[in-house]
Structure 1
């Protein structure tokens, strides 16, 4: 009955469905814009406390641990109580978390490094719990779109991520600049602690609160039938997914892909700082380049390829592309930082060319895997369990992002290329799993 109701609603009012998708994508974009702002400054923020780079990995793991725990719960609650309240609650909590995150340095200066780090980790745990809302957003999209259009619609969520990573890191890098910090200090009251680290955090909080306002004003609950869902535990949801022959390889693939990708997400900014001399602003510009490619890949290319070749083949192509990207990144320092030509611009170096190739590969690979796997999950789940199924698979991804960052950071400290090569090797079984079914 739920399946018929959802399909009828989507087919009868395609304009309403498109508007609903646009609103959810907009909320995800605003939320991710705030998240993207933090990315280029976070490793430097951690280093400002005078601790090992291993703490960068631990901080990333704390976010993913909370997301791992929250995603199935938020997905199930969205099945039972509705998508809209879950999305609103999560973006509001994220705003509070980013606000607290910006005060961690002040706490460290006033009370001590340990207290500052405790605030830093506490805020990341809170933000990670809110970050589990992607399952509700994906389920919302599945509610209002028919199966044949679902890959393209889910790709728009990926494009919103891409847009967030285009503008977010760029805004974060600009806000971390001396010019922006000086201007903010002159404009804001003296009691507001404005630094190259706090200012981007406060901006991220502001964007999350803007997403909350947008959801409250324009987001409507999708029309669907909600039955009295059985109460299941966190572990039971995973057992059920792993017992399902269709969902099991997808859950494992989400875990392994996320584990492989942590070497990039956690150590890329320190890597380009150490080997290419990039600061927060330069790293932000490069992340914006990757995000811009992600808009095209996830918003247009991946959806079109999925319709023509099927989501499973697209996901496999993404695995190959990400595998190559990780290997290219591992060897990129060998290219050096010399200018390509004696009379050309000094910034156009051989190393930059290699990094640009890496960016193209990683953008397509990540987009194809994300959209391909999400579409396969949607097809494997019933209408009334879309949220729970997305929650479990997203949580499996969060588990990979929980385990991976400390390992990647520790491996990077020992041998810089090891987290990237290890990530490439982890993608091999993912390719095998995705070949097990036609």
Structure 2
């Protein structure tokens, strides 16, 4: 091998190593940020109820996060194209830390200024956190910048795995920080001016993780070497109009909306369905959610990337639609299916209902993972090099809109006919096949 060939090989090896480190840093930042978000999940309903207000506000607070994310994601994506990925990621995780601090002191605001002020504080915190959550577009664009096309599915899958891990470990940490023993210990250790309650401690922990992510990004995250888009004045509506006018991106925007709409409704109504038809309490439901989260991490971090390299991202997305469609149908008829499963023997908890629900969870986890990673990979392939952030911002915004609209409609449908939101979600997925069938 000549010296020039050896130097070229060494440069390629160094570049690959640098890309892997960059991907690892971004995934780590995303994980810490999402871990903070996951911590809030188990305390949110009880926090709302502590103010003696309607449970309707639980749904409204959930929707407010997705709505803010929907509005912010395209802007953050565009800014990351023009000003850089690193500053957008740092600003957003710092804003998330501030949001969770504000969220944690809502009870103190209520004690000083009344319930209305407390509720407004909760909404302000959730809106700011949701806007910061739009940084996923910049994170995905960063990874697209530093990885070759053939490796993007696996790299983007790691972001999905970070999501899964955040939802696996976050609620567990939140529950621990809200436990009586930890609260009592915190009251003994912390200064009296720091509120130590089962609501404030998880919130402050989430804030601490966001600030940790900010510090990590400041120290080790480097701006990728890429061609930047020229600065231009754009509006929220104009970005969506441009994306929908692009024949390559339009099917992906619509697919993100439809798949998020379908799956978000299922996420909201799954636990009530378990309680009403299978007699599960919160602990039993949490075990199923953990199972789905663990499977999701494996699927998005390992399985889907390998399938995409072998069969292509479009086929992976179509397989994901089929898997999620089957999962929703199984869930809709699961009470009837459970009675058809013959006795299996073994442990007493392994009932027909458990078998059917495990089947649903397995199908849903693969389907959601394949859709998340496959669609993101298609976006990275179809968007131009200087518009990756904008493309991811618009598609993630469409997904956030689906997560804003889907849960309230699914809840209303559940009240009318319990199985209807799952059947409707399956039907909503069918247009995705038509949108992507021809590539």
Check the 8 A contact 1:103/1:193 in 2, yes or no: yes
Counterpart of 1:5 in structure 2 is: none
Q: Specify the SS of the correspondent of 1:13.
A: helix
Report the Cα distance in structure 1 between the residues aligned to 2:327 and 2:67, rounded to whole angstroms.
Answer: 26
How is 1:13-412 mapped onto 2 (pairs within 5 angstroms)? 13-108=15-110, 110-272=112-274, 282-332=284-334, 348-412=350-414
Report the Cα distance in structure 2 between the residues aligned to 1:83 and 1:431, rounded to whole angstroms.
Answer: 33
Counterpart of 2:4 in structure 1 is: none
Residue 275 of structure 1 and its aligned partner are, at CA, apart by 5.2
Q: Per the alignment, do residues 181 and 50 of structure 1 end up closer, same or farther by CA in structure 2, a change over 3 Å counting?
A: same
Q: Per the alignment, do residues 215 and 187 of structure 1 end up closer, same or farther by CA in structure 2, a change over 3 Å counting?
A: same
Deviations 1:194-242 (A, max 9, x none): 3333332222111111111111111111111224233222111111111
Residue 347 of structure 1 and its aligned partner are, at CA, apart by 5.1
Q: Per the alignment, do residues 263 and 348 of structure 1 end up closer, same or farther by CA in structure 2, a change over 3 Å counting?
A: same
Q: Per the alignment, do residues 254 and 324 of structure 1 end up closer, same or farther by CA in structure 2, a change over 3 Å counting?
A: same
Deviations 1:124-165 (A, max 9, x none): 111000000000000000000111111111111111111212
Residue 39 of structure 1 and its aligned partner are, at CA, apart by 2.0
Counterpart of 1:4 in structure 2 is: none
Report the Cα distance in structure 2 between the residues aligned to 1:152 and 1:255, rounded to whole angstroms.
Answer: 23
Q: Per the alignment, do residues 41 and 335 of structure 1 end up closer, same or farther by CA in structure 2, a change over 3 Å counting?
A: farther
Check the 8 A contact 1:151/1:372 in 2, yes or no: yes
Report the Cα distance in structure 1 between the residues aligned to 2:93 and 2:267, rounded to whole angstroms.
Answer: 22
Report the Cα distance in structure 2 between the residues aligned to 1:10 and 1:140, rounded to whole angstroms.
Answer: 19
Q: Specify the SS of the correspondent of 1:207.
A: helix
Deviations 1:265-296 (A, max 9, x none): 33334544555565655544433222211121
Report the Cα distance in structure 2 between the residues aligned to 1:68 and 1:236, rounded to whole angstroms.
Answer: 14
Counterpart of 1:434 in structure 2 is: 436
Gaps of 5+ in 1: 1-8
Report the Cα distance in structure 2 between the residues aligned to 1:68 and 1:364, rounded to whole angstroms.
Answer: 25
Deviations 1:38-65 (A, max 9, x none): 2233234334444444333222211111
Q: Per the alignment, do residues 342 and 318 of structure 1 end up closer, same or farther by CA in structure 2, a change over 3 Å counting?
A: closer
Check the 8 A contact 1:53/1:409 in 2, yes or no: no
Return 39-48 or 154-163, whichever deviates more.
Answer: 39-48
Check the 8 A contact 1:314/1:369 in 2, yes or no: yes
Q: Specify the SS of the correspondent of 1:37.
A: helix
Return 9-18 or 70-79, whichever deviates more.
Answer: 9-18
Residue 121 of structure 1 and its aligned partner are, at CA, apart by 1.4
Counterpart of 2:8 in structure 1 is: none
Report the Cα distance in structure 2 between the residues aligned to 1:300 and 1:416, rounded to whole angstroms.
Answer: 35
Report the Cα distance in structure 2 between the residues aligned to 1:22 and 1:31, rounded to whole angstroms.
Answer: 14
Q: Per the alignment, do residues 30 and 49 of structure 1 end up closer, same or farther by CA in structure 2, a change over 3 Å counting?
A: same
Residue 369 of structure 1 and its aligned partner are, at CA, apart by 0.1
Residue 436 of structure 1 and its aligned partner are, at CA, apart by 2.9
Report the Cα distance in structure 1 between the residues aligned to 2:106 and 2:276, rounded to whole angstroms.
Answer: 25
Report the Cα distance in structure 2 between the residues aligned to 1:415 and 1:308, rounded to whole angstroms.
Answer: 42
Q: Per the alignment, do residues 398 and 432 of structure 1 end up closer, same or farther by CA in structure 2, a change over 3 Å counting?
A: same
Q: Per the alignment, do residues 286 and 173 of structure 1 end up closer, same or farther by CA in structure 2, a change over 3 Å counting?
A: farther
Check the 8 A contact 2:343/2:352 in 1, yes or no: no
Report the Cα distance in structure 2 between the residues aligned to 1:255 and 1:10, rounded to whole angstroms.
Answer: 38
Return 48-57 or 375-384, whichever deviates more.
Answer: 48-57
Report the Cα distance in structure 2 between the residues aligned to 1:332 and 1:187, rounded to whole angstroms.
Answer: 49
Report the Cα distance in structure 2 between the residues aligned to 1:287 and 1:277, rounded to whole angstroms.
Answer: 16
Report the Cα distance in structure 2 between the residues aligned to 1:333 and 1:195, rounded to whole angstroms.
Answer: 40
- TM-score, normalised via structure 2 length: 0.89
- TM-score, normalised via structure 1 length: 0.89
Check the 8 A contact 1:108/1:114 in 2, yes or no: yes
Q: Per the alignment, do residues 353 and 171 of structure 1 end up closer, same or farther by CA in structure 2, a change over 3 Å counting?
A: farther
Report the Cα distance in structure 1 between the residues aligned to 2:281 and 2:207, rounded to whole angstroms.
Answer: 23
Gaps of 5+ in 2: 1-10
Deviations 1:351-387 (A, max 9, x none): 4433332221221111100110001111110100000
